[in-house]
């Protein structure tokens, strides 16, 4: 029987199938995790430069921690650079996102410079956002004083999206933790990742965020938690996935940073840091501290593999530490998807607890799907008596505030801080969003600070500052939403999402129809 050659369509199908098989094969499997080097946080650091300053202070406040909020974006960057430059024994650094932009490159170089001084550097990065960083991370790891590990790594390095096709259950779980610890004496935790938008170093969209710098009792808890993640089943030594660095890779990184410092924008940014009172107070060890009992909460890293017990998760730990609110809850959450907590907030309001919530307006959010997940729950929350505020994209700042003056007035602002206060007595600051992803998929961490002073400052913001920076969402007698804005002493009413285009509103409506809340 005669055999006919394959048709063009058949050839195309076979070619596509071959390409797909090659791509799927490229994903591969994770390499064997062991043997891995073993290391732990240093505990004998009282004699370091940081230790000599901090140990006497901590001795006067046994069982407490000294807390300094980092509200200003540039202060937050300066604090990290200062710790990297001051450390003498160790730097333990853990992040979800690290961009290789101006601030990210300078911080990479600060870690390299610390290692050159003999400081042991351990860098743990979630692998979801390391695209384009493989060469840099391999170069850092090649330094004998630096070890880089990738958390929950992606095996397909160049076609990263394929990991979500072949191993979605694992790849969809990420390490959202953020901490920067020097000599086991000082730590910074909070909502900020590493990148220009988090440190007030871009004319584009900036994130309004919050970290705290801490000394004292809680620092050891952060170091212990870092060790737990460092030796977890999801933390892979970088060379297992990235291979060896080029011989000149580390020198190239140093050269890149040196060239960057000569650029006008970088020079202006660094000059602004040097002129800030915060940097001067930090260098002189004169920063004001709020001493308070501070407890760290963190997810069991086994959560990234879907193996953590409920008792090892942040929501249960927060509930055990905070208890039932009695009078007031003030919550700031940029990615607020209350699909699993509407009943909780409604019950609080029914009991007479004042509940104020600030999240991003549609015009300010950087994730439309998250806004869709939030928007569908506004009516039941408002009906229960919860007050809802949505941060404007161009939020005005108080006259004279340093950050506004430094960055200019053209930058747009998007909320990124994750914090809440309870009964004007306890404050949470960390990486945890009130959304299903934080509760069930990503690992998170934060501090519960027993401080009426700090908790009161957040409550005061809802009265004094937030009304000028946000829209208040309310429910009309006809059951429809409306937004009010305070401007020049007048109240402006709007019956549609303020500042949002018709296309944005349509997109959110369309996304709200999809069953994706559990992924948000």
The catalytic residue positions are: 176, 178, 183, 416, 418, 423
What is the DSSP code string of 126-141?
Answer: EGGG-TT-HHHHHHHH
What is the DSSP code string of 313-363?
Answer: SHHHHHHHHH---SSEEEEE-SS--GGGTHHHHHHHHHTT-EEEEEEE-TT
Local structure of residue 31 (DSSP, 8 states): P
SS3 string, 238-269, reads: CHHHHCCCCCCHHHHHHHHHHHHHCCHHHHHH
Distance CA 437, CA 220 (A): 28
Provide φ and ψ at 210, rounded to 5°. -150, 130
Could you give the count of Cα atoms lying within 13 Å of 191 in the half-sphere of its Cβ?
A: 27
Distance CA 371, CA 366 (A): 9
- The CA R_g of the chain, rounded to the nearest whole Å, is 24
**Do 194 and 400 contact (CB within 8 A), yes or no?**
no
**Do 336 and 375 contact (CB within 8 A), yes or no?**
no
Burial-class residue 216 by CB neighbours within 10 Å (0-12, 13-18, 19+): buried
């Amino acid at each position: 029987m005669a055999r006919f050659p394959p048709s063009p369509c058949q050839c195309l199908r076979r070619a596509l199938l071959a390409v797909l098989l090659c791509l799927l094969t490229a994903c591969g499997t994770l390499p064997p995790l062991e043997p891995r080097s073993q290391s732990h946080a240093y505990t004998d650091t009282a004699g370091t430069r940081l230790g000599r300053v901090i140990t006497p202070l901590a001795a006067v406040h046994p069982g407490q921690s000294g807390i300094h909020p980092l509200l200003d974006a540039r202060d937050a960057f300066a604090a990290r650079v200062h710790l990297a430059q001051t450390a003498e024994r160790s730097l333990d650094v853990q992040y979800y996102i690290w961009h290789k932009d101006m601030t990210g490159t300078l911080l990479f170089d600060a870690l390299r410079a610390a290692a050159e001084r003999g400081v042991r550097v351990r860098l743990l990065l979630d692998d979801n956002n390391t695209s384009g960083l493989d060469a840099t991370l391999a170069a850092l790891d090649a330094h004998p004083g630096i070890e880089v590990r990738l958390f929950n790594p992606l095996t397909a390095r160049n076609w990263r999206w394929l990991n979500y096709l072949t191993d979605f259950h694992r790849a969809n779980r990420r390490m959202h933790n953020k901490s920067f610890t020097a000599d086991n004496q000082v730590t910074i935790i909070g909502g900020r990742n590493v990148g220009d938008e988090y440190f007030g170093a871009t004319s584009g969209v900036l994130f309004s965020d919050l970290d705290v710098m801490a000394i004292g009792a809680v620092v050891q808890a952060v170091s212990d938690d870092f060790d737990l993640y460092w030796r977890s089943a999801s933390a892979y030594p970088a060379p297992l996935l990235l291979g060896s660095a080029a011989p000149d890779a580390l020198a190239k990184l140093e050269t890149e940073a040196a060239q960057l410092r000569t650029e006008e924008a970088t020079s202006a940014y660094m000059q602004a840091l040097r002129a800030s009172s915060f940097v001067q107070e930090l260098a002189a060890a004169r920063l004001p501290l709020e001493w308070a009992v501070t407890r760290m909460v963190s997810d069991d890293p086994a959560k990234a593999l879907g193996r953590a017990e409920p008792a090892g998760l942040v929501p249960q730990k927060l509930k055990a530490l905070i208890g039932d609110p009695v009078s007031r809850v003030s919550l700031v959450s940029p990615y607020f998807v209350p699909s699993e907590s509407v009943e909780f907030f409604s019950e609080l309001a029914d009991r007479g607890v004042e509940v104020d919530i600030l999240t991003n307006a549609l015009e300010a959010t950087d994730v439309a799907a998250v806004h869709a997940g939030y928007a569908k729950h506004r009516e039941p929350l408002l009906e229960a008596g919860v007050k809802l505020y949505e941060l404007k994209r161009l939020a005005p700042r108080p006259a004279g505030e340093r950050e506004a003056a430094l960055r200019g007035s053209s930058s747009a602002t998007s909320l990124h801080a994750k914090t809440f206060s309870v009964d004007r007595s306890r404050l949470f600051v960390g990486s945890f969003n009130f959304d299903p992803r934080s509760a069930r998929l990503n690992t998170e961490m934060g501090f519960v600070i027993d401080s009426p002073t700090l908790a009161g400052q957040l409550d005061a913001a809802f009265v004094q500052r937030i009304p000028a920076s946000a829209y208040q969402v309310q429910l009309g007698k006809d059951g429809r939403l409306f937004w009010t804005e305070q401007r020049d002493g007048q109240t402006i009413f709007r019956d549609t999402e303020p500042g949002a285009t018709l296309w944005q509103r349509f997109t959110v409506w369309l996304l709200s129809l999809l069953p994706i809340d559990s992924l948000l």
